[in-house]
């Protein structure tokens, strides 16, 4: 509950978008390594963030706490009202994590950053090794394929950016890999995202239905990793 309270975004509401988040730590551990946030940048723009620290439990939760403590005060606050580059942000965060954990060789973080512009209906984004998000339009999912090196491997990484044009009614889905990687009675199964998203259309109770369908596809009773969902429905 403490970690949920710390990570829960303080979302500035807008008539143009509806945000929803769901977070489930590994059963029995009650804390984990998933990070997510929605930050209002001003001028009808929102910064969407999602990340996954390798591992489970207290160590991973500690690193997510560090991320929460540094991202806004050290970087985002200084960009308010200015142009925000997701790629430049990930480059800064990668260098910051390399410095913070310079004496540790086992730290790995995947991370996605996107700027949702409601005025121009665009998403400008960059990706540091994280599972690709999706745009769902009229029930048809499209994968946002750009990617880059995960945080914490090497210094001075340049992260490419892409921009996708959006439409009213589109749903953006960001998630962590706990949704698709499940330890089942036959070993580790990988839920296929595209068939899953075609099967479960956005609508009422979307997060619960998506989580239930993923478990059913894998034949699993519960998730074996932290699971986070973040959706943005354009209105």
What does the pLDDT read at residue 153?
86
DSSP symbol at 71: I
What does the pLDDT read at residue 112?
99
pLDDT digits (tens, 9 = 90+) for 102-121: 767 667 899 999 999 999 99
- 31 φ, ψ to 5°? -155, 160
Mean pLDDT within 160-177: 97
- Parallel, antiparallel, or unpaired for β 162-165 and 181-184? unpaired
Using alpha carbons, select from 137, 149, 69 the residue that is nearest to residue 109: 149
The CATH code of the domain that includes 34 is: 3.60.40.10
Burial class (CB in 10 A: 0-12, 13-18, 19+), 27: exposed
Could you tell me the residue range of the domain that residue 146 belongs to? 2-234
- Are the beta carbons of 6 and 72 closer than 8 angstroms? no
Using alpha carbons, select from 173, 154, 122 the residue that is nearest to residue 20: 173
What does the pLDDT read at residue 72?
94
- Select the highest-mean-pLDDT range: 31-40, 171-180, 182-191: 171-180
Contacts of 15 (CB under 8 A, 6+ apart): 235
Using alpha carbons, select from 68, 111, 60, 148 the residue that is nearest to residue 230: 111
| Cα 28–chain centre separation | 23
Total domains present in the chain? 1
pLDDT digits (tens, 9 = 90+) for 64-88: 999 999 999 999 999 988 899 999 9
CA–CA distance, 232 with 43 (Å, rounded to integer):
17
């Amino acid at each position: 509950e403490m970690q949920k309270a710390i990570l829960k975004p303080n979302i500035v509401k807008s008539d143009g978008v509806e945000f929803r988040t769901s977070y489930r730590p590994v059963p029995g551990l009650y804390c984990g390594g998933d990070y997510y946030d929605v930050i209002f940048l001003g001028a009808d723009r929102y910064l969407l963030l999602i990340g996954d620290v390798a591992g489970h439990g207290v160590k991973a939760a500690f690193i997510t706490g560090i991320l929460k403590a540094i991202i806004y005060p050290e970087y985002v606050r200084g960009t308010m009202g200015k142009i925000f580059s997701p790629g430049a942000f990930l480059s800064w965060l990668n260098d910051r994590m390399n410095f913070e954990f310079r004496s540790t060789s086992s730290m790995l973080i995947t991370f996605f950053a996107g700027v949702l512009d409601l005025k121009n209906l665009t998403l400008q984004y960059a990706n540091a090794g994280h599972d690709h998000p999706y745009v769902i339009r009229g029930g048809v999912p499209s994968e946002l394929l750009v990617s880059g090196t995960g945080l914490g491997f090497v210094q001075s990484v340049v992260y490419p950016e892409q921009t996708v044009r959006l439409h009213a009614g589109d749903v953006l889905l960001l998630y962590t890999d706990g949704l698709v990687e499940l330890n089942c009675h036959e070993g580790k199964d990988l839920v296929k995202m595209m068939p899953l998203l075609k099967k479960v259309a956005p609508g009422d109770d979307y997060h619960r239905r998506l989580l239930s369908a993923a478990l059913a596809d894998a034949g699993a009773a519960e998730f074996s990793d932290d699971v986070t969902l973040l959706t943005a429905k354009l209105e």
